[in-house]
Every structure is written in C-alpha cells, then in structure tokens.
Structure 1
C-alpha cells in the first residue's frame, strides 16, 4: 500500500477512535446524570426554595422560617387530588417509619396549589383523615401567595377544566430541605419509601 494511503488510513482510524471515545463519554455521562436524577442527588445546589408567606391549616400565618431547625419534606398538591397526593402522603409516612429515630427532626409540609377550594379548614379536615400521617403541616394562601411559593420552589401547576370538577395539574417532586431552610435534594415521585429513606440518611449524614 502506498505511503500516502497508509497515512490516510491511519488518520481515519484515529478520527474514528476519537469519535467513539467522545460518544462513550457522552453516553456514560448521560447514564450517570439519569441515575443521579432518579436518586435526586445531582451535584451542586440549584436555586430551589426561598421566601414565602402562607397560612397553615390552623389559619396561622407562616413563612420560610418554619423550616429552620428541622429537616423538611416539602411537596405541592391539592386536597381534591385523586391519586398522587394521598399516595405521596402515605409513601412519606412509610419513609418516616423506616427512618426510625432519624425522623425525629423531620417534618412533612404539604403546600396546596388550589387556593380556591383549599381553605385552612379544608386542609385541616383533609390531613386529619384516616390513613394519613399525623403531624403533616398543610399550607395555603391567596392565589398570589401560592404562585410565589411555587415560583421559588420551581414547582409547576395549572388549573384544568371549568366548574366544580376542575383539577390541578402539578409537578410531582418532593423537596428535601435542610435545617437551615436550604435545598438539599429532590426525591422523585417513584423513588419509593426504602430508597427515599436511604437517600435522606445519606444527605443528613453530610449535614
């Protein structure tokens, strides 16, 4: 084979090898990112959480300082939610049970995205229903207050339908907030109690 052809062939091999290496890196990074998202442990601290002004199920005004000094599991939903919200409450209670003594400083915070129907009284009745975990803090407010709280948590919600039978589409993430009120990690809605408890223990161990 002529020298020029050999050099061209060798150059082509190098280019192909480099391209394959690049693709391999991209695939590996993509898999690592997907795994991190499913576990809720992406590196870095995204801007999640911040000031809010709401009222709890007893009608008392609260703000973001209610998160201080405790670990908090915060999620958005509404009392007319047919499946996700009651399932999440049940799952979080199972997670809390698995944590045992590690859950002594853990609170569950349920923020309504349906201020039209979810008055403090409605939240109180809902959260005291049989089968729901005790001690869940329900929060609601004016439409403007709810919109601001959802904005700082990057939570999505949208009213769908008209009349009394409307529903609220909303994001499914549970936010793990540290005792300093800062975001620590996200729990995917399909993580399950056992993996959620493991994740919370790991995050708490880091402080």
Structure 2
C-alpha cells in the first residue's frame, strides 16, 4: 500500500472537515486482509512519564496504535472510547493489546498533558501517551504512512488544529502490522477482529 492509497483511506479533521471515502476497512475489508508489510516501523519517543521508548519497549505483546492529539475535539476521543468499548466486549481469555496514543501535536502535548489525557476513564485503562520532538513524531508517523498537517485557526482560542489520518494500527508481538481499523469499524467489529487475531 502506498502513502497515497493510505491517504485515500481516511483523513480525519479535528478542525475543518475534510472527509474522504475509505477504500478498505470495516467488515467489507476483512480484518485478516490488512497486514501490509510496508506499514509500521521504528519509533523513538517519550511516554507520559517522560521516559524514552522505542518499538523495542512494546515488543513481546500486541500493540494498538493511534495517531491523534489531546486538543482534538471529537474524532480522537470518540475513537478511544470505541476502543475501550471494544476491549470491554473481548472474551475473558483475550487480553487487550497495549494501547498507544502517539501525539501529532508535540507543541502542546507535553508528557504532563498526555498523562492527564490518557487517564480519562472513558478511554482504555492501558492507554499510554507518546510524544517527542517534531522530527521524532514525523518520523514515527511516516513509518506508519500516517499523514497530518497543522490548520491555522486565528479566530479560535486554540489558535490551530490538526488534520490527520485516523486509523488504528494493530501490531503483533514482533512489531509487524497485523491489521488496521478505520472509522467504519465499530466497537463490535473491532472486538470480533481482535478476538479472532489474538486467540490464534
């Protein structure tokens, strides 16, 4: 899958709306058919405790990754709530994947800001927030073919927002893409897919 194709999948607007029709995903895409080998790669960031982390930190267990930001008014929190609801649907013998929110707004999303945000009770209990320098964040996003851009909003108190690809990436124990989810996936379809993949 090329970056252009991934961009067609979905660019979510936490600022001005910029919807795109996804070309894959949801139940039609089939959760077993989205393991593209060119999506996913090394990361070098810091978590909400200010600790340096890389992909090696998370190897050994499945990890669900979302690129978003704490000032996102709707798409990001709604996505994380959906993930929490999906985890609540998992059978008792299926452990939810480690969940990461990688901020694409490092200017505002300090570790302290992320620590407060990820503790939201409506979000997954194991959610970690990651940030870094603009260069580190861009490198991580590029590894996942995740696009984002700053949208100036001079008349808003927040001054700007971020347009960004809104996908959930499930990495396996070796940090290889297992599947991804789009806005078409509900908590039910995500839970069904996770159960199928994680019970293997």
Structure with the larger RCO, 1 or 2 (CA within 8 Å, 6+ apart): 2
Structure 2 residue 12 is the aligned partner of structure 1 residue 51: no
CA contact (8 A) 2:66 2:101 kept: yes
- 5 Å-filtered alignment, 1:57-76, equals 57-76=48-67
Task: Sort the Cα spacing of 1:68 and 1:102 in 2 relative to 1 into closer, same or farther, 3 A.
Answer: farther
Task: Sort the Cα spacing of 1:152 and 1:57 in 2 relative to 1 into closer, same or farther, 3 A.
Answer: same
Indicate the residue corresponding to 1:17 in structure 2. Answer: none
Indicate the residue corresponding to 1:189 in structure 2. Answer: 183
Structure 1 residue ranges without an equivalent (≥5)? 1-32
CA contact (8 A) 1:52 1:145 kept: yes
Deviations 1:62-108 (A, max 9, x none): 00012211111101000000101111111111111111334425211
Indicate the residue corresponding to 1:148 in structure 2. Answer: 139
- 5 Å-filtered alignment, 1:12-27, equals none
Deviations 1:159-188 (A, max 9, x none): 001554200000111001111111100111
SS of 1:109's partner is strand
Deviations 1:4-34 (A, max 9, x none): xxxxxxxxxxxxxxxxxxxxxxxxxxxxx77
Q: How many residues matched? A: 175
Give the greater-gyration-radius structure (CA): 1
CA contact (8 A) 2:91 2:195 kept: no
CA contact (8 A) 2:153 2:159 kept: yes
CA positional deviation for 1:135:
2.2
**Cα separation, 2, equivalents of 1:73 and 1:43:** 14
CA positional deviation for 1:205:
3.7
TM-score when scaled to structure 2? 0.80
Structure 2 residue ranges without an equivalent (≥5)? 1-23
Indicate the residue corresponding to 1:107 in structure 2. Answer: 98
CA contact (8 A) 2:89 2:188 kept: yes
SS of 2:92's partner is helix
Task: Sort the Cα spacing of 1:34 and 1:123 in 2 relative to 1 into closer, same or farther, 3 A.
Answer: closer
Indicate the residue corresponding to 1:92 in structure 2. Answer: 83
Greater alpha carbon shift after TM alignment, 74-83 vs 159-168: 159-168
**RMSD value, Cα:** 2.2
Indicate the residue corresponding to 2:111 in structure 1. Answer: 120
